[in-house]
Amino acid sequence: ATELLFSLLMKITLAVTHTHTHTQHVLQHRASEASVPQFCNSPTMIVMVGLPARGKTYISKKLTRYLNWIGVPTKMFNVGQYRREAVKIYKNFEFFKPDNEEAMRIRKACAAAALKDVTAYFTKEQGQVAVFDATNTTRERRAIIISFAKEKGYKVFFVESICDDPEIIAENIRQVKFGSPDYVDRDIDEAMEDFIQRIDCYRASYMPIDDERDRKLSYIKIFDVGNRYLVNQVQDHIQSRIVYYLMNIHVTPRSIYLSRHGESELNLLGRIGGDSGLSPRGQKYANALATFIKGQNIRDLKVWTSHMKRTIQTAEALGVQYEQWKALNEIDAGVCEEMTYEEIQENYPEEFALRDQDKYRYRYPKGESYEDLVHRLEPVIMELERQENVLVICHQAIMRCLLAYFLDKPADELPYLRCPLHTVLKLTPIAYGCKVESFFLNIEAVNTHRERPVNVDINRNPEEALQTVPDHI
């Protein structure tokens, strides 16, 4: 017998089948459980290919971060890491010489260990995508991986990065290799010298993916940091999304500024949502923001707002062109729009508790969840990747989602990230991550950050529920 049950947390209807196995009564979810369609059937291995200092790890980390953010459980397996654990101390490039049999043995063992962990990730940890980050520069090594994947039923998608521009390579080495554990006690020139010889060790045996012989493989070749791409045999949705993402990212230095609107009238009253205008302090912030931005001397700054009055009023003070995005609108609190937390507790105590239990997945009645927000912000992220200097004037929940993407925060931390009013966050990509600078523009504002209370049970009493509500009028 199948029943339709309504999930109170996510506000979705699921078909459950009651089946009896021996003495147990099991509920089986037949339809998709998540609030977004599941696009992965078999697990997928993304396999990097390329000489050292071609951006493989940069791509691997970024791709992993993006996939996790959009809800596809992904993990990266860096074979160099395994090697560092096996061979505690790195002496010099000689380790990588093709005739160093001892080292070859170790390196093969490391790759095998990494593949073993890939299997564990897929079978025991519900992973969907594994990014296998290593040079994988020989056909032999790639054949081993293909055979491994075939045996286990995993799909394989290769990402090869090809670049011969000596300046780019030198810059790569400067940005990420000098900080590597391998070179921690070396001076810069020594390290550079050693690394270049390391690259040479791979060069002789490097066989790029061959367009003829490998025409049945699924892959993307990235030439010269994105000038040109060759895409072959894209098999499914996730590979298509990966290709689209890889084709939109770039390495040109730039900064992304995130800010909320100035304090609003409803903020002052402790009410959530709505479409109110700025309070006098909020207006002051808008002016301060204009001064701040001017002082940053940003080249070609794009300014984005939501469709809501408070972000637009904030942008107006800048005196420049801005674009309104509906996708940047604050989370829709449905029936709770414009309520205070006290009112939510009074009218919807169960909802209030459910939200504290799982703030990421919780959907307001007739409203949205943080999970929904991520889904609607994906085109914003994609465009942010394409752009250079951008100032995004948005809202608390929105800013948390965007910040989580840039700072690789998991779903359970995302809804509790601190994004106070009247504070600009400047994000600058650096090495494998993002530098964050926080600028409080010295205009007082209410605090709108509500921490998770200790008691999240439905049967808690109002005081326990309201313990962490920030002050308001």
Q: How many residues does the chain have?
A: 473
Of 36-65, binders to other proteins (CB under 8 A) are 36-38
Q: Is 330 a catalytic residue?
A: yes
Least Å from the CB of residue 15 to other proteins: 6
How far is C-alpha 69 from the geometric centre of its chain's CA atoms? 4
Q: Is 261 a catalytic residue?
A: yes
How far is C-alpha 194 from the geometric centre of its chain's CA atoms? 33
Least Å from the CB of residue 181 to other proteins: 37
Closest C-alpha among 177, 116, 104 to residue 141: 104
- Binding other proteins (rule: CB under 8 A), the pick from 75, 139, 186, 309 is 309
- Binding other proteins (rule: CB under 8 A), the pick from 59, 159, 169, 293 is 293
Q: Taking a C-beta distance cutoff of 8 angstroms, is the pair 336, 273 a contact? A: yes
Q: Taking a C-beta distance cutoff of 8 angstroms, is the pair 383, 411 a contact? A: no
Cα–Cα distance between 155 and 132 in angstroms, integer?
13
- Give 58: exposed, middle or buried? Use CB within 10 Å, 0-12, 13-18, 19+: buried
Quick check: 35 binds other proteins (CB under 8 A)?
yes
- Which residues contact residue 296 at a Cβ distance below 8 angstroms, ignoring those fewer than 6 apart? 257, 426
Stretch that binds other proteins, among 7-15, 354-362, 407-415, 438-446 (CB under 8 A): 7-15
Report how far apart the first and last C-alpha atoms of the chain are (Å, whole number): 53
DSSP 135: -
Q: 35 by DSSP, 3-state: which? A: coil
Least Å from the CB of residue 290 to other proteins: 6
Quick check: 335 binds other proteins (CB under 8 A)?
no
Residue holding tokens 């809800």?
71
* Residues that contact other proteins, how many (by CB under 8 A): 65
Of 260-279, binders to other proteins (CB under 8 A) are 277
From 94, 101, 261, 323, active-site residue:
261
How far is C-alpha 92 from the geometric centre of its chain's CA atoms? 34
Quick check: 29 binds other proteins (CB under 8 A)?
no
Stretch that binds other proteins, among 48-56, 153-161, 344-352, 370-378 (CB under 8 A): 370-378
Q: Between residues 112 and 320, which has the closer beta carbon with respect to other proteins?
A: 320
Residues that bind other proteins (CB under 8 A): 2, 4, 6, 11-13, 15, 30-32, 35-38, 211, 215, 227-234, 236-237, 240, 243-244, 247-248, 277, 283, 286-287, 290, 293-294, 300-301, 307-309, 312-313, 316-328, 337, 366, 372, 375-376, 383, 386
Annotated binding site: 260-267, 310
The residues annotated with a catalytic role in the active site are: 261, 330
